[in-house]
Amino acid sequence: MFEERRHFPPLQQARSGWAETQVPPVPLLLCLNADHTKALYVLHKPSELFRKRKRAQEDGRPSPRTSPPSCTAEGGLKKEATSDTSEKNADTLEYWIRTKRWPRRYFEQDSQVRQDFEHDSWLEEQMEQSSIPVVQYVEINGMRYPRPIKKAPSLRRKQSDTSLTCSSDQKKSAQYRDICYNTLLAAKWSFIYESDIGITDASKSLCRRLLESEQDVPKDSLFRDDLFNRTCRKIQDRNKTMVIRDIALLIVPSAQILAIYGATHLDHLNESVNEGWTGAIPVQGPQPQPDYSVGFGRSAFTDEQLNKLDPLIGSVFDTSYFVATYRMYFPFLTCEVKCGATAPDIADRQNAHSMTLAVRGVVELYRAVKREKELHREILAFSISHDYSWVWIYGHYPIIEEDKTTFYRHPIHGFSFTTLDGKEKWTAYKFTKNVYDIWMPIHLKRICSVIDQLPPVDFKVSQGSELQFTERPLSEGHMSRDSSVC
């Protein structure tokens, strides 16, 4: 790419006698890209151009061009003096003479500038958001229960499968592309790194077991030994859609598909694909929309347990701590697929937001029966992010100190599945199946043990007798404190 300063034709000699204060500034075309897509205009007064020409003539230098050359795709300059260009420039000057202003086209954004402005618009939206929602707690016999929050009207209008699942990837990941999102999460006590004290020894042992336990793998797939190298070549540097189509299910297997093939213990799980978590109270900004997520369906709980949960969850028009969508309770696994130079960072932020909600829901449930200390430093959810060659696996856990809860992630494994002749191509697949087979039943059992302790709660009862209502904004209490952002 090169830059060439060039001038529009000077004013006609008949106009040279104008006073300087009356002469319109003339656009100076700073550069054209090699692909002819962008031009940057700056303004100069013609008197300045005449002075430069006069000095050049006195110094014996050639006069500057009076007709604009064009930049070729090859990077060279090619002089073109067409009648169209001359007429266009003349029309521009005549327009200024009549209106005392330049044509609107000089001040319009091109597509690239518009995209650059839209890239940062998410932060402005954060600043313009309505007040932080307030969670109302009901205290019954010394126990505090969070009430669901009504969805915003704008979100209720979007409550259709099409609007929830078909938004563009660019739009849903806009807020996560900025490193400032890490600071916004930190303001809510969610951190994208390991805590100083880390996870418990029991959780460490469990992670090793999930990594090392053997599992059956598909016999006929694109990861088959004789197809693996070719598959990796075909998807290298390709976009997210192709990576998902070709290998996503070989990295993170679908719980629903495994159940259809006979893993009946997974029938009570519910999964979503690129579906917004419209039933969840977000930590920061809009609700998450993972590429893939897994939680529990209603069939995982008994009727009695559902009767105890329903008041805490509300209707499909409410949001709560305990659901991701109206179908999915207590999510525990998310997967994000990203491609590009900054893809891992974007995926990490998306997963961190989603898994903060997942861990927070379990902590709030335990806090309702005053058993939250049992969860201190225990892994309560997992996330996986990958592109066409690398995989990152994390565990997410809380640090609980009295009424304050902070959220961290533990790096379990990060690796390239394309190296060493594909030695680790099935590592993430086996890990995910072990999460389904080994960890998930343990997790469900402890959730059910707490639900069984919940008393029947009816928030419709008047505020008379033993019910006491307290409120806590999501930016206060054990979740977060006010904090400045970058």
In a shared domain, residues 122 and 252: yes
Q: Is 1 contained in some domain? A: no
Q: How many domains does the chain have?
A: 2
In a shared domain, residues 264 and 331: yes
Residue 287 is encoded by which pair of tokens? 């609700």
pLDDT of residue 449: 97
In a shared domain, residues 97 and 138: no
In a shared domain, residues 95 and 162: no
pLDDT of residue 340: 79
Q: Name residue 286's amino acid.
A: P
Q: Is 305 contained in some domain? A: yes
Crossing angle of the two packed helices 440-451 and 303-313, in degrees rounded to 10: 80
Residue 204 is encoded by which pair of tokens? 């460490």
Contact between 193 and 409 (Cβ < 8 Å): yes
In a shared domain, residues 48 and 147: no
In a shared domain, residues 343 and 422: yes
Of 58, 81, 108, the one marking the end of a domain is 108
Residue 368 is encoded by which pair of tokens? 């309702």
Q: Is 480 contained in some domain? A: no
In a shared domain, residues 282 and 336: yes
Of 108, 127, 162, the one marking the end of a domain is 108
In a shared domain, residues 142 and 169: yes
Which has the closest alpha carbon to 331: 316, 302, 303, 351?
351
Residue 484 is encoded by which pair of tokens? 């400045």
Question: Mind listing the pLDDT tens digit of every residue in the chain (486 residues)?
Answer: 444 444 444 444 444 444 444 444 444 444 444 444 444 444 444 444 445 444 545 555 554 444 444 444 444 444 444 445 455 556 777 887 888 787 777 666 666 555 555 544 545 555 444 445 677 777 777 777 787 888 766 554 444 444 444 445 666 677 788 778 888 888 889 999 999 999 999 999 999 999 999 999 999 999 999 999 999 999 998 999 999 999 999 999 999 999 999 999 999 999 999 999 999 988 877 789 999 999 999 999 999 999 999 999 988 888 899 999 999 999 999 999 988 777 788 999 999 999 999 999 999 999 999 999 999 999 999 999 999 999 999 999 999 998 899 999 999 999 999 999 999 999 999 999 999 999 999 999 999 999 999 988 776 653 444 444 455 544 444 443 333 334
Residue 420 is given by DSSP the state G
In a shared domain, residues 42 and 136: no
Q: Is 481 contained in some domain? A: no
Q: Is 479 contained in some domain? A: no
Q: Is 337 contained in some domain? A: yes
In a shared domain, residues 368 and 245: yes
Give the domain extent around 201: 117-473
Q: What are the phi and psi torsion angles at 394 (to 5°)? A: -130, 150
**What is the rounded CA–CA span in Å between residue 351 and residue 339?**
15
- Which residues are CB-contacts of 110 (< 8 A; sequence separation ≥ 6)? 37, 38, 39
**What is the rounded CA–CA span in Å between residue 282 and residue 42?**
44
Contact between 358 and 396 (Cβ < 8 Å): yes
Q: Is 485 contained in some domain? A: no
Q: What are the phi and psi torsion angles at 52 (to 5°)? A: -65, -40
CA dihedral of residues 146, 150, 155, 161 (deg, nearest 10): 80
Of 75, 108, 141, the one marking the end of a domain is 108
- Coil, strand, or helix at residue 6? strand
C-beta neighbour count of 299 within 10 angstroms: 11
pLDDT of residue 99: 84
- In sequence order, the β-bridge partners of residue 6 are 29
Buried b (16+ CB within 10 A) or exposed e, 202-221: ebeebbeebeeeeeeeeeeb
Q: Is 408 contained in some domain? A: yes
Residue 3 is encoded by which pair of tokens? 């830059």
What is the full DSSP assignment across 306-371? HHHHHHHH--TTEEBSSBSSSS-EEEEEEEEE--STTHHHHHHHHHHHHHHHHHHHHHHHHHHTT-
pLDDT of residue 37: 42
In a shared domain, residues 280 and 395: yes
In a shared domain, residues 136 and 101: no
